[in-house]
Homo-oligomer: A and B are copies of this chain.
Amino acid sequence: MTRSEKPDPRVVRRARWERATSSPLLVCGVLFIVAYSVLVLVPSLPGWLSPIILAVVIATWLIFLFDYVARWLLTPRGQRGRFVRATVPDLLSVLMPLFRAFRVLRDIPYLSHRTGAAVRTRVVAYAACYAAVFIYVISLATLRVERDAPGSTITTLGDALWWACVTVATVGYGDTYPVTGLGRLYAVMLMAGGIVIVGTASAVVISYLNEHILRVSRRDAEGSTPVE
């Protein structure tokens, strides 16, 4: 009975909490992105709407923070260090809410395949989704701080998205670049993301190549000894 030990009741409660909060948190994530987009992109909000939007942004942020703390408390004392290490993406999603939204992707049915192809497909799908949201949110944030800076080259959402793509791909033409301190901080975050994306692309190609070589070798081995 080494494998199926009786689970800690607190871990069970955390799993139940996570299942119950999955959908509400997805809604929160989408709400945050919409509210933040309105905040940045609509220059002159009506006086009554402005505080509502700001309230939504802050409220969704607090909800994610509350959820993380709740899950931390539902973890047995001895496993909290491991919980923090294992949920670094969730911790990041507290800082950048919609990331959390993609947790729903975890339950797609691929997982039951035996080959590496399914895992690779999932990794590519995840990476693409994360990259898209990452680029969009950073673009918005950068646009907000750069728009009115003197000498700025990022003044529209189009410019900001273009700049973000050029940065993530580590191309960096230099036609658009941030000039404010905060804008440069966002840029460094994008660069870090870009390095991870390039790494993920390499990893997927390498995994595919290895499996392909293995399959060809085996087929040859079978082909050359057709009769046992």
Q: Which of B116, B192, B206, B216 contacts A199 (CB 8 A)?
A: B206
Interface string of A191-227 (1 = CB under 8 A from B): 1101111111111111111101100110011010000
Task: Name the residue on B nearest A128 (C-beta).
Answer: B192
Q: Which of B116, B158, B216 contacts A213 (CB 8 A)?
A: B116
Of A113, A179, A205, the most chain B CB neighbours within 10 A belong to: A205
Collect the chain B residues with CB atoms within 8 Å of residue A220's CB. 112-114
Task: Name the residue on B nearest A162 (C-beta).
Answer: B184
Collect the chain B residues with CB atoms within 8 Å of residue A167's CB. 171
Q: Which of B165, B169, B172 contacts A166 (CB 8 A)?
A: B172
The interface residues of chain A, by DSSP majority, are classed as helix
Collect the chain B residues with CB atoms within 8 Å of residue A192's CB. 169
Contact B205 A207 (CB under 8 A): no
Q: Known pairs A169-B192, A170-B170; list 20 more (Cβ under 8 Å).
A: A85-B121, A111-B216, A113-B220, A114-B217, A114-B220, A119-B212, A123-B209, A162-B184, A165-B184, A169-B195, A171-B172, A171-B194, A173-B173, A173-B174, A173-B177, A175-B177, A198-B198, A203-B205, A203-B208, A207-B213
Nearest CB in chain B: distance from A224 CB, A: 8
Collect the chain B residues with CB atoms within 8 Å of residue A170's CB. 169-172
Q: Which of B85, B172, B194 contacts A173 (CB 8 A)?
A: B172
Q: Which of B188, B195, B196, B206 contacts A207 (CB 8 A)?
A: B206
Some 11 contacts from A to B, beta carbons below 8 A apart, are: A114-B220, A120-B213, A162-B184, A169-B192, A170-B172, A171-B171, A172-B172, A172-B174, A196-B201, A199-B206, A207-B209
The reply on A181 being an interface residue by CB < 8 A is yes
Contact B116 A217 (CB under 8 A): yes
Interface string of A101-122 (1 = CB under 8 A from B): 0000000000111111011110
Collect the chain B residues with CB atoms within 8 Å of residue A194's CB. 169, 171
Q: Which chain A residues numbered 173 to 187 have a C-beta less than 8 Å away from chain B? A: 173-175, 177, 179, 181, 184, 187
